[in-house]
Structure 1
Amino acid sequence: MPGSQALLLTPSAVRRLHKHVLSHSRYPARDRVIVALSFRAGLRAAEIAGMRWRMVLDPYGKVADRLTVEDAIAKRRGGRIVPMHQELRAALIALRAELDASPERDASIVTSERGGPMRAGSIVNLFAGWYAALGFEGCSSHSGRRTFVTTAARNLAKAGGSLRDVQLLAGHRQLATTERYIQGDTHAQRRLIALL
Structure 2
Amino acid sequence: MGLGKQSKILSKPQIEMVSTYLRSKRNGLRNQTIFLLSVKCGLRAKEISQLSWKEVCNSLGEVDNRIGLTNRSSKGLSGRIIPLHKDVRTNLIELLDIHKQYYGFDINNSFVVRTERSPFTTSQTIVNMFQGWYKKLGLLGCSSHSGRRTFITETSKKISLVGGSLRDIQMMVGHSSLQTTQRYIESDSDSQRKVVDLL
Residue equivalent to 1:103: 105
1:43 and 2:43 are equivalent in the alignment? yes
Contact 1:6 1:139 in 2 (8 A): yes
Query: Separation in 2 of the partners of 1:29 and 1:2?
Result: 33
C-alpha deviations, 1:53-89, integer Å up to 9, x for none?
A: 0000011111001101110121111110001110110
C-alpha deviations, 1:130-161, integer Å up to 9, x for none?
A: 00110000000000000000000011221211
Tell me, what secondary structure is at the counterpart of 1:76? coil
Residue equivalent to 1:20: 21
Query: Separation in 1 of the partners of 2:93 and 2:30?
Result: 11
Instruction: Specify the code of the residue in structure 2 equivalent to 1:22.
Output: R
Tell me, what secondary structure is at the counterpart of 1:82? strand
List 4+ stretches of structure 1 deviating above 2 A: none
Instruction: Specify the code of the residue in structure 2 equivalent to 1:137.
Output: L
Residue equivalent to 1:79: 79
1:143 and 2:146 are equivalent in the alignment? yes
1:166 and 2:166 are equivalent in the alignment? no
Query: Separation in 1 of the partners of 2:98 and 2:75?
Result: 30
**Counterparts of 1:176-195 in structure 2 under 5 Å?**
176-195=179-198
User: Which range is displaced more, 57-66 or 103-112?
Assistant: 103-112
Contact 2:110 2:119 in 1 (8 A): no
Gaps spanning 5+ residues in structure 2: where? none
- Return the offset for 1:7: 0.4
Contact 2:38 2:147 in 1 (8 A): yes
The TM-score, its normalising length taken from structure 2, stands at 0.95
**Counterparts of 1:44-63 in structure 2 under 5 Å?**
44-63=44-63
The TM-score, its normalising length taken from structure 1, stands at 0.96
> RMSD of aligned C-alpha atoms?
1.1
Query: Separation in 2 of the partners of 1:185 and 1:159?
Result: 20
Query: Separation in 1 of the partners of 2:145 and 2:123?
Result: 12
Instruction: Specify the code of the residue in structure 1 equivalent to 2:71.
Output: D
Query: Separation in 2 of the partners of 1:159 and 1:3?
Result: 32
- Aligned-residue sequence identity (percent) comes to 38
Gaps spanning 5+ residues in structure 1: where? none
Contact 1:36 1:88 in 2 (8 A): yes
Residue equivalent to 1:8: 9
Instruction: Specify the code of the residue in structure 2 equivalent to 1:133.
Output: K
